[in-house]
Amino acid sequence: MLQNSRWLAGGALDDFGWFIAVPRTARVWASGARDDLDTVLRDELEQQTDSLTDGCCESGGWPDDAEVEVTELKVRGNELVAEIALRFNEMVASACRDVSFAEKRHRWLTLRLARDSNGAEIEPSESDSQRWDIADRNSASDGE
């Protein structure tokens, strides 16, 4: 289970997510150039991987080599909704000061951008299995 309050209790937004600035994406969307929208969003998010990976390290390490992928992009009325896959290595210190080892991490996020805003709401995606309860993970579970 994710252990950082940013993910579980929210950051600057509310109990479920936080805001991230995506002004270039907002401008491209407002201009109507939808062909480049996913590329611009990915580029903008890749510049902010520190914010996206904050609190995702489960073993007390630090994030490294973060990659962002826009897996789905939809326009729903006046809202742009993107599903984001975030992959990175969590570098964990070992007993040897010069040696760290890497643990692969993968997070799924949902980004929501209102048409009249430069800031997008980011929240853990429903497809992030690390947020599921036992009943969600096991179809044979009776919820107990």
pLDDT tens by residue, 22-81:
999 999 998 888 888 999 999 999 998 888 887 777 777 777 888 999 999 999 889 999
Domain enclosing residue 122, as ranges:
5-130
Q: How high is the pLDDT of residue 138?
A: 54
Q: Tell me if 17 is assigned to some domain.
A: yes
Q: Tell me if 139 is assigned to some domain.
A: no
Cα angle value 52/53/59 (rounded, 5°): 160
Q: How high is the pLDDT of residue 114?
A: 93
Instruction: Give the chain's end-to-end CA distance (angstroms, integer).
Output: 18
Burial class (CB in 10 A: 0-12, 13-18, 19+), 21: middle
Q: Tell me if 138 is assigned to some domain.
A: no
**Which contiguous run of DSSP H or E holds residue 8?**
helix 5-8
Which are the contacts of 135, defined by CB distance < 8 A and separation ≥ 6?
141, 142, 143
* Number of domains composing the chain: 1
pTM attached to this predicted model: 0.72
